[in-house]
């Protein structure tokens, strides 16, 4: 496994030699990098929990490790775009980057990792004022506005909802259905908490918890595919994650588990017996 991880890292480093333009990865926050959680879940398992006023969040599993890996890829810029208020977004990202920089071992303030751009509610493109519509139907996240020098052939918006701005639909790397925060499938707490989005099985829960690792698998595979073919990075992501009708492939697709496994290997994570479903 270590030899495979080293091979993948060397391959990813060589990908940049054919690229003059940066690859822009723009992450959503809510339900992508953070769960909104509840006191009982936060108390039972405080790992990754951050509090902002009366709001309680938990970082998605491996979020800091994946973002650190992406920051280290040559030619990659990591940004964020959330429909939340700027102050909240900057606070949550500040906490996340404290962990990223702790993991990186970067003590020098001048070399600390930080987001390339941060978009918030004030930066949304309002396309409708009809309050009967879902928030994502009324508001979009324009990548060209957030990053004026972006190359849309080399960029994705990673989001759990369809916030793609008109003309940027193919830039959406949409997550499969996300669940409410359930840090332990075995715990009876979540079954009586009145949650709206819950898994139907342990396997479904496990794969959802690894959604950011899946993103790492997709992004790195897409960069390799773009490097050895004539298609763009953006088009490679579309081919890897969408069905012929344009919808996102589900977690039951064989490629989903394979991309999670790929991400785990890149993070040099030991695959335990309980993770064999990912093989």
Q: Which long-range contacts (CB under 8 A, 24 or more apart) does 158-163 make?
A: 158/25, 158/26, 158/27, 158/28, 158/32, 158/215, 159/27, 159/28, 159/32, 160/28, 160/30, 160/31, 160/32, 161/28, 161/31, 161/134, 161/135, 161/136, 162/136, 163/28, 163/81, 163/83, 163/136, 163/139
Residue 272: is its pLDDT beyond 60? no
Is the distance from CB of 217 to CB of 263 less than 8 angstroms? yes
Residue 24: is its pLDDT beyond 70? yes
Q: Give the span between the Cα atoms of 60 and 235, in whole angstroms.
A: 26
Residue 107: the pLDDT is 63
Residue 240: is its pLDDT beyond 50? yes
Is the distance from CB of 133 to CB of 151 less than 8 angstroms? no
What's the pLDDT tens digit per position in 31-65? 999 999 999 999 999 999 999 999 999 999 999 99
Residue 116: is its pLDDT beyond 70? yes
CATH class label, 2-278: alpha beta
| For the chain, domain boundaries | 2-278
Average pLDDT over residues 107-128: 91
Residue 47: the pLDDT is 96
Residue 1: is its pLDDT beyond 60? no
Comparing 9-23, 175-189, 261-275, the range with the smallest average pLDDT is 9-23
Comparing 22-26, 179-183, 242-246, 265-269, the range with the smallest average pLDDT is 265-269
Entry pTM: 0.88
Give the pLDDT band of residue 183 (cuts 50, 70, 90).
very high
Average pLDDT over residues 2-14: 50
Average pLDDT over residues 221-226: 97
Residue 169: is its pLDDT beyond 50? yes
Is the distance from CB of 124 to CB of 143 less than 8 angstroms? no
For the chain, give the mean pLDDT: 90
Residue 271: is its pLDDT beyond 90? no
Q: Give the span between the Cα atoms of 1 and 277, in whole angstroms.
A: 17
Give the pLDDT band of residue 247 (cuts 50, 70, 90).
confident
Residue 134: the pLDDT is 95
SS3 annotation, the chain: CHHHHHHHHHHHHHHHHHCCCCEEEEECCECCCEEECCHHHHHHCCCCEEEECCEEEEECCCHHHHHHHHHHCCCEEEEEECCCCHHHHHHHHHHHHHHHHHHHCCCCHHHCCCCCCEECHHHCEECCCCCCCCHHHHEEECHHHHCCCCCHHHEEEEECCCCECCCCHHHEEECCCCCCCCCCCCCCHHHHCCCCCCCCCHHHHHHHHCHHHHHHHHHHHHHHHHHHCCCCHHHHHHHHHECCCCCECCCCCHHHHHHHHHHHHHCCCCCCHHHHHHC
Is the distance from CB of 85 to CB of 121 less than 8 angstroms? yes
Average pLDDT over residues 166-183: 96
Residue 269: the pLDDT is 53
Average pLDDT over residues 119-145: 96
Average pLDDT over residues 171-199: 94
């Amino acid at each position: 496994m270590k030899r495979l991880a080293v091979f993948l890292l060397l391959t990813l480093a060589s990908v940049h030699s054919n690229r003059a333009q940066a690859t822009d990865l723009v992450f959503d926050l809510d339900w992508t990098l953070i769960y909104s959680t509840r006191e009982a879940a936060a108390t039972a398992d405080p790992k990754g929990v951050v509090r902002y006023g009366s709001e309680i969040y938990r970082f998605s599993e491996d979020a800091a490790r994946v973002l650190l890996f992406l920051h280290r890829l040559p030619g990659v810029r990591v940004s964020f775009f959330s429909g939340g208020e700027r102050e909240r977004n900057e606070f949550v990202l500040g906490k996340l980057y404290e962990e990223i920089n702790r993991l990186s071992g970067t003590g020098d303030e001048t070399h600390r990792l930080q987001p390339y751009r941060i978009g918030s509610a004030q930066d949304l493109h309002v396309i409708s004022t009809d309050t009967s519509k879902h928030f994502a139907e009324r508001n979009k996240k324009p990548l060209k506005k957030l990053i004026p020098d972006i190359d849309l052939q080399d960029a994705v918006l990673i989001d759990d909802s369809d916030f793609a701005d008109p003309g940027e639909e193919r830039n959406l790397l949409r997550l499969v259905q996300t669940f409410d925060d359930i840090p332990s499938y075995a715990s009876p707490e979540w079954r009586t908490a009145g949650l709206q989005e819950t898994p139907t099985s342990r396997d479904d829960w496990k794969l959802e918890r690894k959604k950011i690792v899946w993103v790492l698998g997709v992004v790195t595979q897409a960069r390799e595919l773009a490097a050895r073919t004539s298609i763009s990075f953006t088009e490679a992501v579309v081919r890897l994650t969408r069905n012929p009708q344009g919808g996102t492939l589900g977690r039951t697709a064989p490629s989903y588990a394979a991309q999670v496994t790929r991400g785990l290997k890149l993070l040099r994570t030991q695959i335990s017996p309980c993770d064999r479903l990912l093989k």
